[in-house]
């Protein structure tokens, strides 16, 4: 029964989950879908930025992209609208138990969040400490501040700093990782 093809497929899924933080992504996608289904907010995932190099038009039905590369993202993963406000965030996972390494966020993304905030939007990151099972909402103002500090040497945001400056998000069954309450309470 254990066909090699099946093993391979399983291995691929695991690698992808580990690399891209699939649990967090799924929790956020489910949460956003809950918001959409209940017409509470309209927040969605952006496409992954790709640099297309070669397209094969040989088949009539669909152009096949035969060479492309992942681009360094200039914006964030999620954006949308809630109670008329522009909402924008990046979601990241870490296996560290003590701090979130800032190398996980690109400088372009920090600038993007700052731009959103300056123009009146709500900009933040969600960080999931996977081995602790804890998640935090942190406003882009703090992200900027800690990012600036990282250039002076300290290359991470500690768990204690998330506890002090962020808002802890609790996992639940239906609204998997509700974050709109933070916006209701602290922004609107």
Give the interface with its own copies as residue ranges (CB under 8 A): 36, 39, 41-42, 44, 46-50, 52, 62-71, 74-75, 79-86, 115-116, 118-121
Q: Which is nearer to its own copies, 45 or 134 (CB)?
A: 45
Structure tokens at 139: 């406003």
Q: Which is nearer to its own copies, 70 or 173 (CB)?
A: 70
- Specify the length of the chain in residues: 188
| CB 162, min distance to its own copies, A | 26
Q: Are 92 and 127 contacting, i.e. CB atoms less than 8 angstroms apart?
A: yes
What is the radius of gyration, based on Cα positions, of the chain?
A: 19
Measured between alpha carbons, how far is 149 from 132 in angstroms, rounded to an integer? 25
Strand ranges (E), the chain: 42-45, 50-56, 64-70, 78-82, 85-94, 99-101, 122-129, 134-139, 156-158, 167-169
| CB 69, min distance to its own copies, A | 5
Q: Which is nearer to its own copies, 82 or 162 (CB)?
A: 82
**CA proximity to 85, closest of 45, 43, 142, 115:** 43
Q: Which is nearer to its own copies, 106 or 149 (CB)?
A: 106
| CB 86, min distance to its own copies, A | 4
Beta carbons within 10 angstroms of residue 32's beta carbon: 21
| CB 178, min distance to its own copies, A | 17
| CB 108, min distance to its own copies, A | 11
Measured between alpha carbons, how far is 52 from 66 in angstroms, rounded to an integer? 9
Q: Which is nearer to its own copies, 83 or 95 (CB)?
A: 83
């Amino acid at each position: 029964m254990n066909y090699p093809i099946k093993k391979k497929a399983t291995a691929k899924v695991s690698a992808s989950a580990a690399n891209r933080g699939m649990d967090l992504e799924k929790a956020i996608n489910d949460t956003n879908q809950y918001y959409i289904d209940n017409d509470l907010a309209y927040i969605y995932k952006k496409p992954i930025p790709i640099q297309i190099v070669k397209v094969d038009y040989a088949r009539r039905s669909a152009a096949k992209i035969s060479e492309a590369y992942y681009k360094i993202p200039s914006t964030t993963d999620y954006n949308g609208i809630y109670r008329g406000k522009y909402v924008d965030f990046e979601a990241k996972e870490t296996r560290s138990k003590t701090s979130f390494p800032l190398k996980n966020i690109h400088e372009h993304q920090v600038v993007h969040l700052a731009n959103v905030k300056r123009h009146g939007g709500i900009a933040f990151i969600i960080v999931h400490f996977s081995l602790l099972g804890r998640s935090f909402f942190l406003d882009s103002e703090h992200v900027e501040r800690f990012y600036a500090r990282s250039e002076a040497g300290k290359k991470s945001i500690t768990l204690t700093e998330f506890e002090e400056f962020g808002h802890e998000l609790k996992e639940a069954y239906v609204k998997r990782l509700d974050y709109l309450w933070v916006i209701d309470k602290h922004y609107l």
